[in-house]
């Protein structure tokens, strides 16, 4: 169902890889709600994914960009404003990567070069993106910037590894930059803390299937899907949330406020 919530709005969507990705689902929903956008991803991710099909489906142009590279970001922002015919109303940062996770390095045995790479891609890229938008005055008043995060930023999930630190840093950047963006440009900045979602990135985490099932049993409403996250993001891009900023918003079926659920208790009960 479409409500035309984003009619006439323009933006950039980072990170669409394939139809499992939250950015992909968000692009589809933004398109349905009347928004226009440029799609972007790292050149290597674009070779792996099916982003061309999404661009065709949504009538969007693709601008490859390494989100850790300031020249690439400068080019992306300048060209996007040009292509879309004006300042941007929304930006989605849906980027995360840990080389330590990918190569099976334990949290207690990190390769710090890899740690730094993951930290740059997953968190500092958000600062670099916002700084580029800010310096170019590329956002419209009452625009909205959203990054995707996960609750391992607040609580221990052992196999999430150094991505937990990356997400904590990402959320801090959202608050800190969000203050300046709000005061000086009337732009809001928020993060969405999503349920574990079977995206390409999510499935790289060890023990992911077991964890998805556990989260499902712990959440009164069950896990939020990629589509649920896309819908929530649409509301944050819309004019209905004009005064929501500096928030880390949980889209997780209630998981974040549950200590233990009856299903989990039953699973451990010795009473037969």
* Mean confidence (pLDDT) of the chain: 95
- Tell me how crowded residue 29 is: count the other CB atoms within 10 A of its CB: 21
Q: Which contacts qualify for 114-120: CB closer than 8 Å, 24 or more apart?
A: 115/162, 118/162, 118/163, 118/166, 119/162, 119/165, 119/166, 119/169, 120/68
Lowest mean pLDDT among 48-52, 147-151, 199-203: 199-203
| CATH number of the CATH domain containing 181 | 3.40.50.720
* pLDDT reported for residue 85: 98
45 inside domain: yes
User: What pairs with residue 116 in β-bridges?
Assistant: none
pLDDT greater than 60 at residue 272: no
Provide mean pLDDT across the span 188-210: 85
pTM for the complete prediction? 0.97
> Confidence band (pLDDT; 50, 70, 90) for 1?
confident
Q: Which domain holds residue 257?
A: 10-268
Tokens representing 216? 């499902």
Q: pLDDT-based confidence at 204, cuts 50/70/90?
A: low
Total structural domains within the chain:
1
Residue 3 located in a structural domain? no
Residues 59-115 have pLDDT tens digits of: 999 999 999 999 999 999 999 999 999 999 999 999 999 999 999 999 999 999 999
4: in domain: no
- What is the reported pLDDT for 36? 98
Q: How many CB atoms lie within 10 A of CB 56?
A: 9
Q: Are 208 and 196 in contact (CB under 8 A)?
A: yes
- Judge whether 156 lies within some domain: yes
2 falls within a domain:
no
CA-CA-CA-CA torsion sign (178, 72, 204, 49): positive
Q: Is residue 33 part of a domain?
A: yes
- Give the lowest-confidence range in 44-53, 129-138, 184-193, 259-268: 44-53
Edge-first strand listing for the sheet containing 188-194: 61-62, 36-40, 10-14, 88-93, 139-149, 188-194, 248-251
| Structural tokens at position 40 | 């972007």
**Are β-strands 61-62 and 88-93 bridged in parallel, bridged antiparallel, or unpaired?**
unpaired
Task: Let me know if residue 87 belongs to a domain.
Answer: yes
Asked whether 28 and 58 are in contact (CB, 8 A), the reply is yes
Arithmetic mean of pLDDT, 114-137: 98
Look at residue 111 and tell me if it is in a domain: yes
Tell me if 77 sits within 8 A of 40, measured CB to CB: no
Q: Of the ranges 39-48, 114-123, 163-172, 228-237, which one carries the lowest mean pLDDT score?
A: 39-48
Instruction: Express each pLDDT in 3-46 by its tens digit.
Output: 999 999 999 999 999 999 999 999 999 999 999 999 999 998 88
Question: Pairing between strand 61-62 and 36-40?
Answer: parallel
How far apart, in whole angstroms, are the C-alpha atoms of residue 5 and residue 230? 13
Instruction: Check: CB of residue 30 under 8 Å from CB of residue 109.
Output: no
Q: Specify whether the CB–CB gap between 201 and 258 falls below 8 A.
A: no
């Amino acid at each position: 169902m479409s409500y035309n919530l984003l009619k006439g709005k323009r933006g950039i969507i980072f990170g669409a890889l394939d139809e499992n990705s939250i950015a992909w689902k968000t692009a589809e929903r933004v398109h349905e709600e009347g928004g226009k956008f440029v799609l972007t991803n790292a050149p290597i991710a674009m070779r792996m994914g099916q982003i061309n099909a999404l661009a065709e489906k949504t009538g969007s142009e693709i601008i490859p960009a390494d989100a850790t590279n300031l020249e690439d970001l400068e080019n992306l922002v300048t060209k996007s404003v040009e292509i879309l015919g004006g300042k941007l109303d929304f930006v989605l940062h849906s980027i995360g990567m840990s080389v330590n996770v990918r190569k099976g390095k334990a949290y207690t045995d990190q390769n710090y070069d890899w740690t730094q790479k993951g930290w740059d891609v997953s968190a500092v890229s958000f600062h670099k993106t916002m700084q580029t938008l800010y310096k170019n005055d590329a956002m419209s008043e009452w625009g909205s910037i959203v990054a995707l995060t996960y609750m391992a930023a607040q609580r221990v999930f052992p196999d999430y590894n150094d991505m937990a630190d990356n997400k904590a840093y990402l959320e801090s950047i959202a608050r800190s930059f969000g203050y300046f963006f709000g005061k000086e440009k009337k732009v809001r900045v928020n993060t969405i803390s999503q349920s574990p979602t079977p995206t390409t990135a999510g499935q790289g985490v060890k023990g992911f299937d077991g964890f998805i099932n556990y989260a499902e049993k712990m959440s009164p409403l069950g896990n939020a899907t990629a589509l649920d996250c896309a819908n929530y993001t649409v509301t944050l891009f819309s004019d209905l949330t004009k005064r929501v900023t500096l928030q880390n918003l949980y889209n997780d079926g209630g998981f974040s406020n549950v200590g233990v659920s009856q299903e989990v208790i039953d699973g451990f009960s010795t009473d037969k």
